[in-house]
Structure 1
Amino acid sequence: MSRAREHGGEHWPKRTFRNRDAGSWAAARKRAAHLAFGTPVLPLLVVALVVLVDLAGGAGVIWLPLLAAGPALAATTSRPCGVLCVGSLAAALSVVLGTRDGVPGGQLTAVLSALVAVTLASALASVLRWRRERVLAAVRSVAEAAQHALLAPIPSSVGPFQVAVRYSAAAAEARIGGDLYALVPTPYGVRMIIGDVRGKGLPAVGTAALVLGVFREAAYDEPDLLDVVARIERSLARNLGYDDFVTAVVAGYPEPGRLEVVNCGHAPPLHVRASGSVASVDPVNPAPPLGLRALTGETPSLQVLPLADGDQLLLYTDGVTEARDHGRRFYALAEGLARHVSDEPATTLAALDAELQAHVGGRLHDDAALLLLRKPVPVEHASATAASGGSAAVPAPPGRHAADVVCCGGPE
């Protein structure tokens, strides 16, 4: 129980009374909103319009059949009871207007029969629509559960990193797709993967689940990052078809200042230095996607990227860089990252995602995933840097030499 709730009733009775009054008004507004949502407003307006036209024109035999538009329209927006109410109202009004306009009994009976038939058919259509919507809601809940199981939520802090993730499936109703990502702390440091499965639909989701399952197990078992990639490769070779593959970047942070990257045919990560410059981590020795090693005979290589305090690394899928605007121009991710980079990865990705959605006009045509890591600056280091008015040098990790590190991030 919160402190305000614990002590509010004892010391502030007037505030309690006002809260109750506000609560009753809020409940009344909620009930009114619920009633308004369930009321077939547009069908009733159609019925009212037909009545006004009939009263103005006086030719009931011409306008009365249009009352059937009310229950027919209600079937698309209302529950069956709403359809029956609109149909009953339309039938009652047709009798009143037909009697007023002197419509012959035979013609009035025909109009009433048509209204009853349309109302019953519309009510049946409404029943079927609501059943389909309930099934769709159940499927969406299953898809959300599958997404949480497949793409487990990543906390905002993992090991020494600040982390943020953004994922958008091209099929918004499906909630999941062929893009995959994972970030796990292991005895060998934080390890991560981001990838893109060839194809779409359930087969792609199944392959993504296979890759993530093998990665999460191998990341804990294998001391060498290349062995993690090899285990994923062997598993895919046993389970994929000849024309299936997965592009991926697998990375690890085994010791301070040292980031290992293995790129298997995937889009190169972007390295953001503390100064704000953005560089692409292009692979020195390009390797084929996972699942195609047997066809090419090439093996992936390990690159080492120096990652200092304040640096950031952005992993992404090609759904981001291949997003086009109405002029068929690709989204410039590196420039967008340079514009929106900040000390909070979640803020950076929120701005990037908003700009990406605006670039494509609000709908992506491919799955898109963004995973941003930031190595925070220690408080002592930041205070010392601010006091000295300059940047403090970061010492090299013990036991490492300059020749052991391959700089992949480009010049600063």
Structure 2
Amino acid sequence: MGSGKRDVWSPLTILPFAMMAVVAIGDVLAGPGTGYLPLLALGPAFASLAGGVARTAAVGVLALALCAGLARFNHILSSRNSTLTFISLIGVTAAGMLASFYRERDERELADVRTIAEVAQRVLLRPMPRRVGPIRAAVRYISAAAGARIGGDLYEVVMTPRGVRVIVGDVQGKGLDAVETAAAVLGAFREAAYDEPGLPGVADRIERTLARRLTGEQFVTAVLAELHPDDRVTLLNRGHPPPLLVRAGRAAEPLDPPEAAPPLGLSGLVDEPACTFSVGFAPGDQMLLYTDGVVEARNGKGDFYPLTERAASLLDADPETALDTLQADLLRYVGAPLDDDAAMLLLTTERA
């Protein structure tokens, strides 16, 4: 953001005036002949770090006025040294104004790029309906710290003739490339979820889409799920953190796949295709799918957020309330903005 939105009382804003005050007081106390006046150039130099062009110029003018007053006080106003000091102050102020101009321009461009990426990401991640067929769904997306780059977290829930199908994933890397890859994955999933008879076919369609986009060792971790009417859920995990299954009165159970499988985009590294597996998913059960920004969040001591231990006690029967509680607990545990974007998708069926 531009300097106009910075706190007027921030340390970097006060520092130029504090430095010039220290130099002026030191020069007066030291008396004539000490030669502190060139240090007044620290004022406009520090002003260019946080202030805009106008503020840097104003600090430079103030430094020149202080220099003139102190030179008169020391009876050296017309001396060669004072003239060189004036020239130095003018040069430092001009350089600071130029640096401020380029810094503000770069900050505006960076803010514009980030805004475009955020808008693109929000367009991709469409609002989640509260009910998809027999399934109640809720989602929370937590943006990272302002300094972090936009990530490629993705999620989608669709109703198909074969049941409710779900994807939660995370694109390797950051920035607009990650957002574009997430768009490609979601587009392929939305098409394949209606057409393919099984989750492996859906994953293969996404793989073919990624093969036209990704280069080198880029990849996308993802979990695909299909919820069946007979109280079962089929899962296909491609290198993603395992979903958590929470049954009433029981601890959260990580749904680890029977065999590890590579992320989407890296299937050529193995000979055998990834296997699906099924677990019971009865009315009242809850399944939490999430991205690694949740479990890799750390507190001030460097400890990871213990999602598995906390999920069972925090998930309310209402998905919206449950995720509000879980998100608040996560942010309270970290005590600061997250370093990476985090997404959480909670699915449940109502009891008959």
TM-score greater than 0.5 by the shorter chain: yes
TM-score, structure 2 normalization: 0.81
After TM superposition, the structure 1 stretch with the greater mean CA deviation from structure 2, 294-303 or 120-129, is 294-303
1:247-282 per-residue CA deviation (whole Å, 9 max, x = no partner) reads 321012243733232223333211011224211212
Alignment of 1:42-61 (within 5 A): 42-59=15-32, 61=34
Does the alignment pair 1:357 with 2:334? yes
Alignment of 1:370-385 (within 5 A): 370-375=343-348, 377=350
Q: Does the aligned pair in 1 maintain the 2:169–2:222 contact within 8 Å?
A: yes
Alignment of 1:6-25 (within 5 A): none
Deviation at 1:190, TM superposition (A): 3.1
Q: Does the aligned pair in 2 maintain the 1:143–1:174 contact within 8 Å?
A: no
Alignment of 1:290-329 (within 5 A): 290-321=264-295
Does the alignment pair 1:101 with 2:74? yes
**Secondary structure in 1 aligned to 2:265?**
coil
**Secondary structure in 2 aligned to 1:350?**
helix
**Secondary structure in 2 aligned to 1:267?**
coil
**Secondary structure in 2 aligned to 1:310?**
coil
Residue in structure 2 matched with residue 15 of structure 1 by the alignment? none
Q: Does the aligned pair in 2 maintain the 1:340–1:351 contact within 8 Å?
A: no
Residue in structure 2 matched with residue 23 of structure 1 by the alignment? none
The alignment yields a C-alpha RMSD, in angstroms, of 3.5
**Secondary structure in 2 aligned to 1:251?**
strand
Mapped to 1, the partners of 2:51 and 2:145 lie a distance apart of 29
Alignment counterpart, residue 196 of structure 1, candidates 160, 170, 191: 170
Q: Does the aligned pair in 2 maintain the 1:316–1:368 contact within 8 Å?
A: no
Residue in structure 2 matched with residue 335 of structure 1 by the alignment? 309
Alignment counterpart, residue 223 of structure 2, candidates 222, 232, 249: 249
**Secondary structure in 2 aligned to 1:375?**
strand
For 1:221, give the aligned amino acid: D
1:149-204 per-residue CA deviation (whole Å, 9 max, x = no partner) reads 34344355555313122345589442224x43223344544321122345556655
Mapped to 1, the partners of 2:235 and 2:7 lie a distance apart of 57
Residue in structure 2 matched with residue 345 of structure 1 by the alignment? 322
Alignment of 1:152-171 (within 5 A): 152-154=126-128, 158-159=132-133, 160-168=135-143
Mapped to 1, the partners of 2:85 and 2:331 lie a distance apart of 54
Specify which structure has the bigger relative contact order, considering alpha-carbon pairs within 8 angstroms and separated by 6 or more residues: 2
Q: How many residues align?
A: 342
Mapped to 1, the partners of 2:7 and 2:307 lie a distance apart of 46
Does the alignment pair 1:115 with 2:62? no
TM-score, structure 1 normalization: 0.70
Residue in structure 2 matched with residue 235 of structure 1 by the alignment? 209
Alignment of 1:71-110 (within 5 A): 71-103=44-76, 105-106=78-79, 107-110=81-84
Alignment counterpart, residue 135 of structure 1, candidates 109, 114, 133: 109
For 1:120, give the aligned amino acid: A
Deviation at 1:369, TM superposition (A): 3.4
Deviation at 1:352, TM superposition (A): 4.6
Q: Does the aligned pair in 1 maintain the 2:151–2:171 contact within 8 Å?
A: no
| Structure 1 pair 284–117 and aligned structure 2 pair: CA distance change class (3 A) | closer
Mapped to 2, the partners of 1:56 and 1:47 lie a distance apart of 14
For 1:373, give the aligned amino acid: L
Larger Rg: 1
Alignment counterpart, residue 265 of structure 1, candidates 235, 239, 243: 239
Deviation at 1:63, TM superposition (A): 2.1
Does the alignment pair 1:274 with 2:248? yes
Q: Does the aligned pair in 2 maintain the 1:340–1:348 contact within 8 Å?
A: yes
- Identical-pair percentage: 44
Does the alignment pair 1:219 with 2:196? no
For 2:330, give the aligned amino acid: D
Q: Does the aligned pair in 1 maintain the 2:43–2:60 contact within 8 Å?
A: yes
Deviation at 1:112, TM superposition (A): 1.4
Residue in structure 1 matched with residue 123 of structure 2 by the alignment? 149
| Structure 1 pair 127–221 and aligned structure 2 pair: CA distance change class (3 A) | same
Mapped to 2, the partners of 1:104 and 1:240 lie a distance apart of 68
Structure 1 unaligned regions, length at least 5: 1-32, 382-412
Mapped to 2, the partners of 1:36 and 1:234 lie a distance apart of 53
Q: Does the aligned pair in 1 maintain the 2:27–2:34 contact within 8 Å?
A: no
Mapped to 1, the partners of 2:65 and 2:261 lie a distance apart of 75
